[in-house]
Amino acid sequence: GWPAMTMRFTFVNADDAINALKTGNHVDFSFIQQGNISLLKSINVTQS
């Protein structure tokens, strides 16, 4: 896995998964790169 970090993503449809995130959550996510914009496709809180 990747170390803890802050990253900026763009997302179009905020759903319950985004709204449920809290600082310190460990997550699995996927994104696509379009030029210099990272578009978030999915994100889910994981158990660590």
Say what the pTM is.
0.64
pLDDT in tens, the chain (48 residues): 778 888 888 887 767 778 888 988 888 989 999 999 999 988 888 986
Calpha distance 45→17 (Å, rounded) = 8
Given this structure, which CATH class describes domain 1-48? mainly beta
SS3 string, 1-48, reads CCCCCCCCCECCCCCHHHHCCCCCCCEEEEEEEECCEEEEEEEEECCC
